[in-house]
Structures are given as structure tokens and as C-alpha cells.
Chains A and B, each alone.
Chain A
Amino acid sequence: MTERRLPPVGEIAVVSMALIIAGGIYLASHIPQPVSLVPAIALLAASGALVVVNVVLLSRVHDFAWRTFFTVARWASLAYMTTAALLAYVFILNHVRGGALAVTLASLVVFAVNVPLILGFGVARYQPIGD
């Protein structure tokens, strides 16, 4: 078994993703009607903060399969940035504007960063150090 002791990056990323998805559900269930952005901004801020925590935790890990991490993260970025871009396209096309659009786009960015992080870490943690 090649698994070793690492910070809880995967768990934090899943919580972060759950928060951003909850914010997305809140927004999607109200737009295009006017909607209070406070809950969505709070969820976005919490999710974004967890992403920052994860990046800091990961940056402190030295013995890790970084090559595998970045290989998986790059492919996942390609896939999930495409998904986020297409979702942004339909929101813009359907006249989502102003603060709602800004929060939606920021949420999609956090989502598109989170998924590669989860997948990259979830795979690299089982790989030999330096791979």
C-alpha cells in the first residue's frame, strides 16, 4: 500500500465543492428573478477560503507525486473549465446580469479550480513520491 499521511486536502476540497454547489443551487433556483446575493456570496466566500486553505496545505507538502498531480489536474482542468465555460455561456445568453452574474461566474471559477484539485490529489496520493 503506497498511501501515506497527508493533509486532509481531499476532504476539504469536497466540503468546498459542496458549499459552491449549494450556492449554485440557490442562485439557479431564483434567477432570472431578482435574488438576494447574501447567501450565495457567503457560500462562495466559505468555499473560496477552503480552496485557499487547500492550496496552502498542498504547498507545504514536499514529498508528493507532483508530476502525477499536475498531469491529472491539467486534464481535469480542460474538462471542467469547458463545463464551467458552457454554463457561463448559457447564463449570459439568458440575460443573467450584474451581481448575480458576477457571483455565478466566481462560483464557476471556484468549481473549475476545485475539481482538478480533488482529482489530482485523489490520484497522486497513491503514487510514489516524485512520480
Chain B
Amino acid sequence: MTDVVHDAPLGPPGLAAPPRREFQIVPVAGLPIVGVILVALVVAIAVNKLWALEFFHVAFGGLWTGVDLFLGFIVGPIMGRMTIAARVEFSTRLMPKMVLLMPTLVTVTLVAGWQLASQLGYTSTDYINHDWLVASYIVVGVMAVVALGVLEPANIAVLYELRKPAPDGELIARLMKRFIYTAGITGTMQVATLVIMTKIGSGG
């Protein structure tokens, strides 16, 4: 990750200050979809059906892991090699969607996961894989600190900068570098999540 980011071309001087773009930082049109998902989650928890809880936890957790791995190890290094102008073009389309997508995936996965674990008796300290479950809490905790403390502020700050009449190319590059590093860290943590969840899922 380090080499990739340091080797990234900044583009010709003319592109250091990318042009202003009109876009929504929070894509309001997506909010009703998030609302429907959250209402469905509440219903699934209220009726406490195993299939519904498994669906929400596995489907959304799989997407969360997949998106983090894809961003951290595929998109991140590619963005690191792009010119500032190309990064700006890509970011203005990707980042607003991430602002809605990631909190939704994380919330649904955690809430459905806790309910599922409670229903299956996994939250009991007597559960054979309880230590693995606690390990998953720690992994999620570390990811939360990295994502909410570093990644997400950088993401939103880039979007705000891009909306200015004369965006600061140097600031965008610095924040994007931070975004790419932290995406790599959360991607690595997601590998640990895969190990833990498959261990718990196998029941052994």
C-alpha cells in the first residue's frame, strides 16, 4: 500500500486544482431505500425468524466484507496510481454512495448478528466458540475506530473540498492517501472477520 500511494502521479500542474463539480454529499434519493431496509430489519428482529436474521446478517455482512476487501485491495491501489483529476472524477461518483452504503451495511450486520447470536445461544459464555465471538467483537471494534475516526472524516472532507469553487488538489491528495491507507487496514481486518465467521459458522 505504501509504495502504491507514494508512487502515485499527481498529474500535470494544471490538474492540481480540480474543477468544481455539482453533486450531493448525501444522496438523498437513497434514503428511502435505507429506510425500507431498516424497517425490514426491525420486523425481522421482532418476529425473530431464523431465516430472516440469517439473511440480514449473512447478506449484509458478506457485502460489508466484500466491499471493504474490494476497496482496500483492488480499488485503493488502482486509485493510488490514478492522476488527481481521475481520482476526483472517480471519487465524486463513488464516495457519496459509500456515505449511505457503509453505515447501512454495518448497522444491519451488527444488529441482525446480535439478535441471531442471542437466538442461537451464542452470546452465552458457555458457548463453545464464545472466545471466537469475542474476537469478532474486537475486530469490529478496531474497524469502527479506524473507519469512523480516520476513514470516514477523510472521505467526507474530500467531498466537501471537491464542491469548492477552487478545490485544493494538495489537500485532496493528502486526504485520499489517508482514505486509501485506512481502506487497506479495514480490508485486512475483514480477512480476520472471514476466518472468525467461518469458524463460528462451521460450529467446530
**A32-B124, A122-B157, A123-B156 given; A82·B137 CB < 8 A:** no
- B170 and A1 form a contact (CB under 8 A): yes
Query: Which residues of B125-166 have CB atoms within 8 Å of chain A's CB atoms?
Result: 125, 130, 133-134, 137-138, 141, 144-145, 148-150, 152-154, 156-157, 160-161
Quote the shortest CB–CB distance from B101 to chain A (angstroms): 12
In-complex Cβ contact of A86 among B42, B130, B144, B160 (8 A): B42
- A82 and B42 form a contact (CB under 8 A): no
The interface size of chain B toward A, counting residues with CB under 8 Å, comes to 39
Q: How large is the interface on A (under 10, 10 to 19, 20 to 34, 35 or more residues)?
A: 35 or more
DSSP majority for the B interface?
helix
Which A residues are CB-close (under 8 A) to B190? none
In-complex Cβ contact of B168 among A1, A22, A90, A93 (8 A): A1
A48 at the interface (CB under 8 A from B): no
Task: Give the CA-CA distance A28 to B130 in the complex, in Å.
Answer: 11
A94 at the interface (CB under 8 A from B): yes
Query: Which residues of A15-68 have CB atoms within 8 Å of chain B's CB atoms?
Result: 17-18, 21-22, 24-25, 28-33, 68
Task: Give the CA-CA distance A33 to B46 in the complex, in Å.
Answer: 22
- A118 and B153 form a contact (CB under 8 A): yes
B98 at the interface (CB under 8 A from A): no
**A82-B107, A83-B107 given; A126·B171 CB < 8 A:** yes
B5 at the interface (CB under 8 A from A): no
- B171 and A25 form a contact (CB under 8 A): no
Task: Give the CA-CA distance A102 to B38 in the complex, in Å.
Answer: 24
In-complex Cβ contact of A3 among B133, B154, B160, B171 (8 A): B171
In-complex Cβ contact of A93 among B45, B106, B110 (8 A): B45
Quote the shortest CB–CB distance from A123 to chain B (angstroms): 5
Q: Which residues of A contact B (CB under 8 A)?
A: 1-3, 10, 13-14, 17-18, 21-22, 24-25, 28-33, 68, 72, 75, 79-80, 82-83, 86-87, 89-91, 93-94, 115, 118-119, 121-123, 125-127
Having A29-B137, A75-B26, A93-B45, one finds 19 other A-B pairs with CB under 8 Å, namely A1-B168, A10-B153, A14-B150, A17-B149, A18-B145, A21-B144, A29-B133, A31-B123, A32-B118, A68-B160, A80-B103, A83-B111, A86-B42, A86-B107, A90-B111, A90-B114, A119-B153, A122-B157, A126-B157
